[in-house]
Amino acid sequence: MSGLLNREIKLVEGSNIAVIGGGPSGSFFTYYALEFASRLDLNISIDIYEAKNFNKIGAGGCNHCGGIISESLVQKLSTDGIIIPTEIIQRSINTYTMHVENGDAVIQTPSKEHRIASVFRGCGPKGCLDTSQRSFDNYLLDLCKEKGAQVILEKITELERCDDGIIVKSKKSVNKKYDLVVGGVGLNKKALKMFEQVCTQFVPPKLTRTYISEFYLGRDQVDEYFGGSMHVFLLNLPQVTFGALIPKDDYVTLVLLGKDIDKEIVENFITSEQVKGCFPKHMILRDSAPCKCYPFINVKGAVQPYDHNIVLIGDSASSKLYKNGIGAAYITGRAAAKTAVFEGICKKSFQNSYKKVCRDLDKDNRVGKLIFLVTRIIQRSSLLKKAVLNSVLREQRATNTKKLMSSALWDTFTGSASYRNILRRFFHPLLLFNLIRGIFSKPQIIDQSHLKNKQKNLGHIYKNGEVIIKQGTSGNCLFVIQEGKVEVINEHNGDDIKLAELGETEFFGEMGLFEKDVRSCTVKALGVVRVLTIDKKNFYESIQNDASLAYRLLEKMSNRLRDANKMINV
Ligand SMILES: Cc1cc2nc3c(=O)[nH]c(=O)nc-3n(C[C@H](O)[C@H](O)[C@H](O)COP(=O)(O)OP(=O)(O)OC[C@H]3O[C@@H](n4cnc5c(N)ncnc54)[C@H](O)[C@@H]3O)c2cc1C
Answer yes or no: are the C-beta atoms of 54 and 141 closer than 8 Å: yes
What is the rounded average pLDDT of the residues 247-261?
93
**Binning pLDDT at 50, 70 and 90, where does residue 558 land?**
confident
Closest CA to 22 of 53, 66, 58: 53
Q: Residue 178 pairs with which residues in a beta bridge?
A: 166
pLDDT of residue 217: 93
User: Which positions ≥6 away from 38 have C-beta within 8 Å?
Assistant: none
Considering only the C-alpha atoms of the chain, give the largest distance between any 2 of them, rounded to a whole number of Å.
Answer: 76
| Atom number of ligand 1 nearest to Cα 296 | 53
Ligand 1 pocket test target in 93, 136, 298, 326 with most atoms within 8 Å of CB: 326
What's the CATH superfamily of 460-569?
A: Jelly Rolls (2.60.120.10)
Average pLDDT over residues 280-294: 84
Report the C-alpha gap between 362 and 205 in whole angstroms.
11
229 has a pLDDT exceeding 60: yes
Where b means 16+ CB within 10 Å and e means fewer, 329-368 reads bbbbbbbbbbbbbebbbbbebbeebbbebbeebbebbebb
Q: Do domains 2-67+120-207+300-362 and 460-569 have the same CATH topology?
A: no
Mean pLDDT across 499-519? 81
State how far the Cα of 371 lies from the Cα of 413, in Å rounded to an integer. 11
184 alpha carbon – ligand 1 mean position (Å): 9
Compute the average pLDDT of residues 277-305.
Answer: 89
Asked if the model's pLDDT at residue 501 lies above 80, the reply is: yes
CB distance 460 to 530 below 8 Å: yes
For residue 321, pLDDT beyond 60: yes
Q: Residue 1: is its pLDDT beyond 50?
A: no
- Stretch 156-180: mean pLDDT: 96
The closest-lying atom of ligand 1 relative to the alpha carbon of residue 187 is: 30
Cα separation values, 252 from 30, 230, 402, Å: 31, 10, 32
Closest to 66 measured CA to CA, from 304, 317, 256: 256
pLDDT at 199 > cutoff 90: yes
Among the atoms of ligand 1, which is closest to the Cα of residue 194?
41
pLDDT at 552: 72
pLDDT digits (tens, 9 = 90+) for 54-113: 999 998 899 999 999 999 999 999 988 899 999 999 999 999 999 999 889 999 888 778
User: Once rounded to an integer, what is the mean pLDDT over residues 331-341?
Assistant: 97
Q: Whose CA is nearest to atom 18 of ligand 1?
A: 325
Would you put residue 367 in left (φ > 0), alpha (ψ -120 to 50) or beta?
A: alpha
What confidence score (pLDDT) does residue 570 get? 61
Counted residue by residue, the chain has a size of 570
Domain 2-67+120-207+300-362, CATH: 3.50.50.60
> 188: pLDDT confidence band, cut at 50, 70 and 90?
very high
Distance in Å, CA 354 to ligand 1 centroid: 20
Of residues 115 and 178, the one with the higher pLDDT is: 178
pLDDT of 516: 64
Task: Identify which has the larger pLDDT, 376 or 558.
Answer: 376
Q: Is the pLDDT of residue 445 over 70?
A: no
Side-chain-side CA neighbours of 227 within 13 Å: the count stands at: 15
Query: For residue 314, which atom of ligand 1 is closest to its CA?
Result: 26
The pLDDT value given to residue 36 = 94
Which range among 262-276, 392-406, 422-436, 556-570 shows the weakest confidence by mean pLDDT? 556-570
Greater pLDDT, 509 or 69: 69
Rounded to the nearest angstrom, the distance between the alpha carbon of 275 and the centre of ligand 1 is 26
Compute the distance from residue 185 Cα to the ligand 1 centre, in Å: 8
Asked if pLDDT for residue 561 goes beyond 80, the answer is: no
**Per-residue confidence at 562, pLDDT binned at 50, 70, 90?**
confident
Q: Which residues pair with 151 in a beta bridge?
A: 48
Q: Which residues line ligand 1 (CB under 6 A)?
A: 20-26, 49-52, 63-68, 155-156, 184-186, 188, 191, 210, 212, 255, 295, 297, 314-316, 319, 324-327, 329
Atom of ligand 1 nearest to the CA of 415: 11
Average pLDDT, the chain: 90
Split at pLDDT 50, 70, 90, the class of 289 is confident
Within 10 Å of residue 380's Cβ, how many Cβ atoms? 11
The domain locations on the chain are: 2-67+120-207+300-362, 378-445, 460-569
pLDDT at position 444: 65
DSSP, residue by residue, 473-533: SB---EEEEEEEEEEEEEEETTEEEEEEEE-TT-EE-THHHH-SSB-SSEEEEEEEEEEEE
Pocket test for ligand 1, best of 29, 188, 318 (most atoms within 8 A of CB): 188
